[in-house]
Structure 1
Amino acid sequence: MSAPDSRVEWLIVGGGIHGTYLARELKESGITPDDLMVVDSEGELLASFRQKARACGMETLRSNYVQHIGPSPFGLERFAEANDRGDELVPTQNSQPRPTLDLFIDYAEYIVKRFDLRKLVDKATVTGISGDGPLRVETTGGSIRAANVVLAVGPNERFHCPTWAEETDRVSHVWDKSTAPPQRIRDGERVWVIGGGTTATQFATSVAGQATSVVLCSRSPLQSALREAEPRWLNWQYITKQLHSLPPGSQARYDRLRKARNEGTIPPYLRRELDRVDNLEHHHEELTAAVETQDGVLLTGEQGVGYQADRVVLATGFESVYGRPLVDQIASELALERGYRGMPVLEDSTLAWRKRDGECSRVFVTGRLAEGSLGAFAGNIPGARRAAERILNSQPERTPNQTASLSP
């Protein structure tokens, strides 16, 4: 817990992939530990990422081995080789190898320890931000004064659930629990997984060994894509041409992003795994109702046909981070400008959130909040790297902290 009315130069809200990556970059740039803080409700860096990855049955990452939280693109590869774990870099058609989840997490923990990032974390929940000049950050552990604040937040626990789905003992969301999928299914159950994206497919294949049958039910036909977007969206010149030529926060930027992202797709290797599982089938239909019965759950489709299940798991995504209450509070209190559907209006070169009067605030964003400036990979690991580059542009040049820069 922070001391009452602590003061720091940089405060990062959220200790996920983006918050952890930025904390390391800021520390390496010369920001001292006394001037840098990460406020996270779990009190542990990457805790939420680990929980969600385990909960959906993730075994490998979709991104390749150069995407991670370390400073060197090939750091994870060197870490794997040094620890005799090269077999955890999974060969992938038309792509560089992808790391297993265990390898990715172990390397991330190595980076956290190597850069001594745990000492930066304050276990608390940010409830609001106010002030002009030094910002006053209100948390469940007290108030903190910060010259600069970075919002490295996702949608939190704001799951998107179909209107027909009322959560019960037999109907739950995939993120409701942090336990591994097989432990959430009783032997012999008939399981329906609702959703057609990567999370739904990972969960469905993970529980097939426990269940008598698994049905993956989606509103639309399954679509495959190796990545979340075309690789050209990794190129800053391309991002500048495609987005920065359009008005910040505009519907035009929003629509271009939605067109660019392969939302709801599954990578080819998962599609092949789906096809290999004998007791797993895909059902394409919009469901309209779910009613608990003595025998389990009766699901009704749009054609009026009923389907019996013992357990229903929703893998239907999250609500937009634009509508997160904390984001609303900060934008309202600090008079920050918002665009189409609540998109933050940012200074593209620094990711500073503009005020309604056109001036730049000292609130910066990363992750999906920054997609209007960073492009289709904003919410992914490449987006964390791009965000750190832009945010570091906003501060005076310092003497970098050369912490073991040649090691993985």
Structure 2
Amino acid sequence: MYKWIIIGGGIHGCCIANRLLKEKICRKDLLIIDAYPEPMHVWRSLTEKIGMDYLRSPSVHHIAQDPFSLKEYAHKFDYAQPFKGRYRRPRLDMFNQHSIDEMDEVNVRECWKQGIVNWLKRSDGVWEVSLFTNEVIQAEHVVLAMGVNRKPQYPQWFSGAEDKKHIRHIFDQETVLPEKGDVFVLGGGMTAAHLAHTLARKSAINSVTILKRHPFRINNFDSDPGWLGPKYLRNFYEVDCYEKRRKLIQEARHRGSITSELYVKLKKQVKAGRLRFYTGELEKVKCKEDIIEIQMDDGERLVANTMLLATGAKASMPGEKWLTPVIKKLNLPCAPCGFPVVAPSLEWKQKLYVAGALAELEIGPTSRNIAGARKTADRIAQNA
């Protein structure tokens, strides 16, 4: 039996594991269960695919406990242009290597188990985690750290499209970027912008068109930095109605926004004739052989060879399929939105903890990002 099981090996799960292994427990006492064979697989594969070069978050947000660890790492290994801008946003490759080195320092891979969880129950004071292979693993504590990017959000028209072979979602792990032709990128947020910029720089790509429903929303962060500390969180914690907390979280997030720096990079590609923007509602999609023809709400018709959907993930609870019946069976407290109501320690029930999106009604609007992972690791480690 393990002392701790962490379900989910993304940034949140790895941040918590790193903290526990450095301060609280031995490797033999921890197991990380994830669908993929290596830590932070979804994050690393997606950011590499879309061509992200610098993170949106500042240099102090990473998986190590010391906020200045990444700054020292950049100096130690002499990275060129390790940070950008006023908030010193780190290079992606440096951030990822720093994360890997942090995990290698405590041998996280020795705690790794590739598998898919399908049930959770409590028996005789012990948590039992069941996998699809019918294996059952016991632990004193369990952390639910599943990510939100596992279920792509497809537009309504997608199910009615006759031929989908040239229409793929960027969150689909099997999606490969085209190397030539004309490309549509559907979406107006950071993922769409990075993807379009990457494609526009490929020499064999004829043209790239970003199709978006609204003008670009320029925000340098996905929520106001005031949500990182007491400036806004003090009032947030005074709200005891979880419907109101959910509304505050929704209003605080700058969904579908991009940074000013990325917007400038896109405009340069437009000026070079490699990229164009089209704002409006997509009404019809016709696919024939290697041609995708679309009609916009203003009657404009556009054609391309490939369409990549950058429309985000489904607005659902992580692990919803298996976690919903567990919630009912164990009578776990939830808000009207269906998400966990937890203690300040992030304990949901008897040594069952939550992280990431599952913790946002307690952590606040930053819960899903790297800053949220650090806050979550702090609280869980304090109660380990």
CA distance in 2, matches of 1:247, 1:177: 39
Residues 80, 88 of structure 1: 8 Å contact kept: no
* 1:63 partner SS: coil
CA distance in 2, matches of 1:329, 1:363: 16
Q: What's the offset of the Cα at 1:193?
A: 0.4
Residues 190, 258 of structure 2: 8 Å contact kept: yes
Q: Write the letter of the residue equivalent to 1:330.
A: V
Tell which deviates more after alignment, 148-157 or 273-282.
148-157
CA distance in 2, matches of 1:140, 1:295: 39
CA distance in 2, matches of 1:29, 1:326: 32
Q: Which residue of 1 aligns with 2:330?
A: 334
* 2:52 partner SS: coil
Give the direction of change, closer, same or farther, for the CA distance of 1:390–1:10 in structure 2 (3 Å limit): same
Residues 239, 374 of structure 1: 8 Å contact kept: no
Give the direction of change, closer, same or farther, for the CA distance of 1:127–1:156 in structure 2 (3 Å limit): farther
1:163 has 2:156 as partner: yes
Give the direction of change, closer, same or farther, for the CA distance of 1:155–1:327 in structure 2 (3 Å limit): farther
Q: Which residue of 1 aligns with 2:96?
A: 105
User: Mind listing any 5+ residue stretches in structure 2 that lack a counterpart?
Assistant: none
Tell which deviates more after alignment, 116-125 or 300-309.
300-309
Q: Write the letter of the residue equivalent to 2:330.
A: L
* 1:88 partner SS: coil
Tell which deviates more after alignment, 336-345 or 12-21.
336-345
Q: What's the offset of the Cα at 1:380?
A: 0.9
Q: Write the letter of the residue equivalent to 2:48.
A: R
2:106 to 98, 102, 115: 115
* 1:342 partner SS: coil
Q: Give per-residue Cα distances to partners, 1:128-149, cap 9 Å, x unaligned.
A: 1012421110013510111111
Q: Give per-residue Cα distances to partners, 1:21-41, cap 9 Å, x unaligned.
A: 100111122212222111111
CA distance in 1, matches of 2:37, 2:72: 29
What pairs up with 1:258-297 in 2 under 5 angstroms?
258-277=250-269, 278=272, 279-294=274-289, 296-297=291-292
Q: Write the letter of the residue equivalent to 1:98.
A: R
CA distance in 2, matches of 1:158, 1:177: 11
CA distance in 2, matches of 1:321, 1:387: 20
CA distance in 2, matches of 1:129, 1:239: 35
1:23 has 2:23 as partner: no
What pairs up with 1:67-82 in 2 under 5 angstroms?
67-82=61-76
Tell which deviates more after alignment, 51-60 or 311-320.
51-60
What pairs up with 1:5-16 in 2 under 5 angstroms?
7-16=1-10
Q: Write the letter of the residue equivalent to 1:394.
A: N
Q: Give per-residue Cα distances to partners, 1:336-383, cap 9 Å, x unaligned.
A: 121122121111x21112xxxxxx332211111111111111111110
CA distance in 2, matches of 1:97, 1:284: 32
CA distance in 1, matches of 2:350, 2:212: 42
Q: Which residue of 1 aligns with 2:347?
A: 352
CA distance in 1, matches of 2:365, 2:53: 24
Q: Give per-residue Cα distances to partners, 1:104-163, cap 9 Å, x unaligned.
A: 111111111112111111111111101242111001351011111111111252111101
Q: Which residue of 2 aligns with 1:127?
A: 118
What pairs up with 1:344-383 in 2 under 5 angstroms?
344-347=340-343, 349-353=344-348, 360-383=349-372
Q: Write the letter of the residue equivalent to 1:383.
A: G
TM-score by length of 1: 0.87
Residues 154, 321 of structure 1: 8 Å contact kept: no
What pairs up with 1:379-398 in 2 under 5 angstroms?
379-395=368-384
* 1:192 partner SS: strand
Provide runs of 4+ in structure 1 moved above 4 Å. Answer: none
Give the direction of change, closer, same or farther, for the CA distance of 1:177–1:230 in structure 2 (3 Å limit): same
Q: Write the letter of the residue equivalent to 2:98.
A: Y
1:212 has 2:206 as partner: yes
CA distance in 2, matches of 1:139, 1:12: 13
Residues 65, 89 of structure 1: 8 Å contact kept: no
1:245 to 223, 238, 245: 238
Q: What's the offset of the Cα at 1:294?
A: 3.8
Q: What's the offset of the Cα at 1:303?
A: 3.0
Taking every aligned residue pair, what percent have the same amino acid on both sides?
28
CA distance in 1, matches of 2:31, 2:287: 47
Q: Give per-residue Cα distances to partners, 1:178-216, cap 9 Å, x unaligned.
A: 67xxx62232x1111000000000000000133211111
CA distance in 1, matches of 2:55, 2:357: 19
Q: Which residue of 2 aligns with 1:232?
A: 226
CA distance in 2, matches of 1:31, 1:329: 31
CA distance in 1, matches of 2:146, 2:84: 32
Q: Write the letter of the residue equivalent to 1:144.
A: I
Q: Give per-residue Cα distances to partners, 1:237-257, cap 9 Å, x unaligned.
A: 345423222225x21001101
2:183 to 191, 209, 215: 191
CA distance in 2, matches of 1:16, 1:134: 25
